[in-house]
Structure formats: C-alpha cells, structure tokens
Amino acid sequence: MKIYISPMAGYTDYSYRKILKKFNPDLLFTEMINAHLLNKNDKITENELLKCDDKINEGVQIFGHDKENIVNAFLKAEKIGFKNLNLNMGCPQPKIIKKGAGSALLPKIELIDNLLYELKEKLDSKTKLSLKIRIGYRSFSSPELYIKIADKYGLDFICVHGRTGEQFYKGNSDWNIVSRLSYLPRSETLDFIGNGDLFEAEQIVNTITSSNLNGVMLSRGIIGNPWLVTQLKELLETGKISSFPDLNTIKNTVLKHIEYLIENKGKIIASLEINKFLKPYFKNFLSEDTNQKLKEIITKKDINKKIQSIINI
Ligand SMILES: Cc1cc2nc3c(=O)[nH]c(=O)nc-3n(C[C@H](O)[C@H](O)[C@H](O)COP(=O)(O)O)c2cc1C
C-alpha cells in the first residue's frame, strides 16, 4: 500500500515537505501550481512554490482551464526536472472554479481526453502523469469515466477524493463510491489511490479495507501529524503501532519546522505560518494549560519569544 501526501495549498510548502520527508512517504506533492503563472515565469511560483530538493520523489500539481496553457505548464515543470506531474481536477475554491479549473474541469470530458492525448505525445515517456479528481461536480456524476480515461492514456495513478466539488470539505468523503470505483477494471499499471477523511491509522485501515486500492493520499490528517505516515505503515505491515511521539519529540519537530520556515521565508513569515500548525501538532497534549499556552504563543509576533515559549510548554 503506497502512502502519498496530497498537495495542500498553504501547507505542503518546501519547509513542511522537509519535515514530511523524514517519514518516508512514497510520494509528496508541492502546493498546487497555477499553469498561467508558471508559463509567465512568475517568480513566487518558480522560486518559492516549486522550490524542491528531490524532484524525483516530490511531484508537482498543476491547475488550469485552458488546454494549451496546461500543456505548456506541464512541459515546463518537466523541463525544471519534475518526474511526477498531476492535474488538479478537484479544487472547489470559487476563484478557481470561476475560471473553469479545479473540479470545474470534471464535466469537460472531451477537453481532458484531448489534453491527456497531447501530454502523452509531448512529455517524455518516463515522466509520470496522474489525475486527482472528486466524485462529482454540478451535472457531472460519472467519475468512472476518468478511470477509463486514465487507463486509456497509461497514467501512473488516479487519486479519487470521495466528495463532490459542491461539498468543499463538508460532509463525509463517500467511501462507498470510492470503493466501487476501485473495483472497476483497470490495467495493472494504473494505480488507484483513495483520498478523503483519512485521519488516524486505525480509522484509515478500517476505512480502506473493503476497497481495491494501491495506495492512499493523506491530506488534513498529516497537518501537524507527520507521524501518521509511520503509524499507518507500521499498522499495515505489522498489525500494530509502536511510534507515538512524546511531547519532547513534538516540540523538537515544531522547532525544526520553524527553523526551515525561517531559512526559507524569513522570521516574520515564519512566525505567522507556524501558527496554523501549532494546535494540530499538540492535539494529543491539549490540556487546559497547554491550550492557554498555545493561544498565547500564537499571538506572539517575535519568533525568538515564540520559540522560547514552545520550549517551555
Ligand atoms: C488547506 C487545504 C488545501 C488544499 N490544497 C489542495 C491542493 O492544492 N490541491 C489538491 O488537489 N487538493 C487540495 N486540497 C484537498 C486535499 O488534497 C484532499 O483532497 C482533501 O482535503 C480530502 O482529504 P482529507 O479529507 O483527508 O483532508 C486541500 C485541502 C485543504 C484542507
């Protein structure tokens, strides 16, 4: 069972991927990349979002709505050196779907068919191509079509998130549908990766047991919890979990994460960006006391004071 880490805008940046890499997931992804901006040589896209130390085991996910733009962006990402390229067909954010990208691509079956045909023609045969879809969007409710298309073009994997575009992140990921899709005929070379509501190792194993998966893609479950990768591996391989991080391990990981953020984005941004990870990192130690301490840490702007307070938790 392969363990992938999903692209997550605002989370799977260079710094957090450096933390995640220590837990050896099979594949990680950058935050989603705007095809249009990549083609325009946008500096933030090139220098920040695509910053990466391992272009073989870390993939790029691209979103866009226009075929030519998407093809050019994929070719550019390949030229930069990335070997795993994924098309975003799931993002539900209004500013993305308004332009016809993300999950709004789902009903455009002919466009996707033509796009994949062209990508397969133009990309190196060793470059791995994949799709990340949701199970529905407005009038579209035939995700099985994309299993067929992914198979037809010899894609590396299709990742299916069991929510519709309209659901955003609400309600449950429908694992009955994901499971049904996973049993549709596909060639051995096409991996089926399940996604949605995978938060804790035991719960993940229970969720996926009735599906025919080659792997899972972890998303919100790994925010502040990179240990989930190890725990899931242990449970799948040995039937039990032995890695439970203690408070010191968590503190040291947070401090490392802050160090990477400072190196990469400077002290001011580091101080802001670590905030959204703090409660998730300490979620198993949230007594009233630590909760209060975390609230105070989050309000501190000075990164040195923040670091000192984390050490003192
Ligand atoms: C903050 C946030 C950012 C996300 N960014 C992306 C993204 O850039 N590309 C993408 O395909 N999915 C993105 N997703 C969706 C996740 O990859 C995943 O499909 C979704 O969260 C379902 O998995 P989960 O329920 O286990 O979190 C994002 C989700 C969240 C919560």
- Confirm or reject: Cβ of 11 under 6 Å from ligand 1: yes
Residue with tokens 């994309």: 146
pLDDT bin (cut points 50, 70, 90) of residue 210 is very high
Which of 236, 233, 159, 162 lies closest to 190, judged by CA? Answer: 159
Burial-class residue 279 by CB neighbours within 10 Å (0-12, 13-18, 19+).
Answer: middle
Task: Give nearest CA residue, ligand 1 atom 15.
Answer: 8
Position in ligand 1 atom list of the atom nearest CA 198:
26
What is the C-alpha to C-alpha distance for residues 206 and 222, in angstroms, rounded to an integer? 18
Tell me the CATH number for domain 2-238. 3.20.20.70
| 150 close to 131: Cβ distance less than 8 angstroms | yes
Instruction: Compute the distance from residue 169 Cα to the ligand 1 centre, in Å.
Output: 8
Q: Provide the pLDDT confidence category of residue 20 given band limits of 50, 70 and 90.
A: very high
For the chain, what's the residue count? 313
Q: What share of the chain in percent tops pLDDT 70? A: 100
Nearest CA to ligand 1 atom 2: 8
247-311 has CATH 1.10.1200 classification: yes
The model's pTM is: 0.97
What type of residue is 57? Answer: N
Measured CA angle at 116 (ends 114, 117), to 5 deg: 60
Structure tokens at 105: 């691509």
Mean pLDDT of 292-296: 95
pLDDT for the residue 128: 98
Residue 98 tokens read as 């308004």
Residue 134 near ligand 1, beta carbon < 6 Å? no
What would the mean pLDDT of 129-153 be, rounded to a whole number?
97
The pLDDT confidence band at residue 84, using thresholds 50, 70 and 90, is very high
pLDDT grade for 167, boundaries at 50, 70 and 90: very high
Tell whether the model's pLDDT for residue 159 goes beyond 90. Answer: yes
Most distant CA pair in the chain: distance in Å? 59
- 183-198 pLDDT tens trace: 999 999 999 999 999 9
Beta strands, E only, the chain: 2-5, 28-29, 33-34, 58-63, 84-89, 128-136, 157-164, 191-195, 215-218
Question: Distance (Å, rounded) from C-alpha 305 to C-alpha 283?
Answer: 22
Cα(first)–Cα(last) distance of the chain, in Å?
A: 37
| Domain locations along the chain | 2-238, 247-311
Residue 311 Cα to ligand 1 midpoint, Å, equals 31
Over the chain, what is the mean pLDDT? Answer: 97
Both tokens of 228, joined, read 């989930």
User: Alpha helix (H) ranges present in the chain?
Assistant: 14-21, 35-39, 43, 67-80, 94-97, 109-122, 144-152, 175-182, 201-208, 227-238, 247-265, 267-273, 275-281, 288-299, 303-311
3-class DSSP state of 225: coil
- Dist. CA 217 → ligand 1 center (Å): 10
* Average pLDDT score over residue span 250-257: 98
CB 13 near ligand 1, within 6 Å: no
Q: How confident is the model at residue 286 (pLDDT cuts 50, 70, 90)?
A: confident
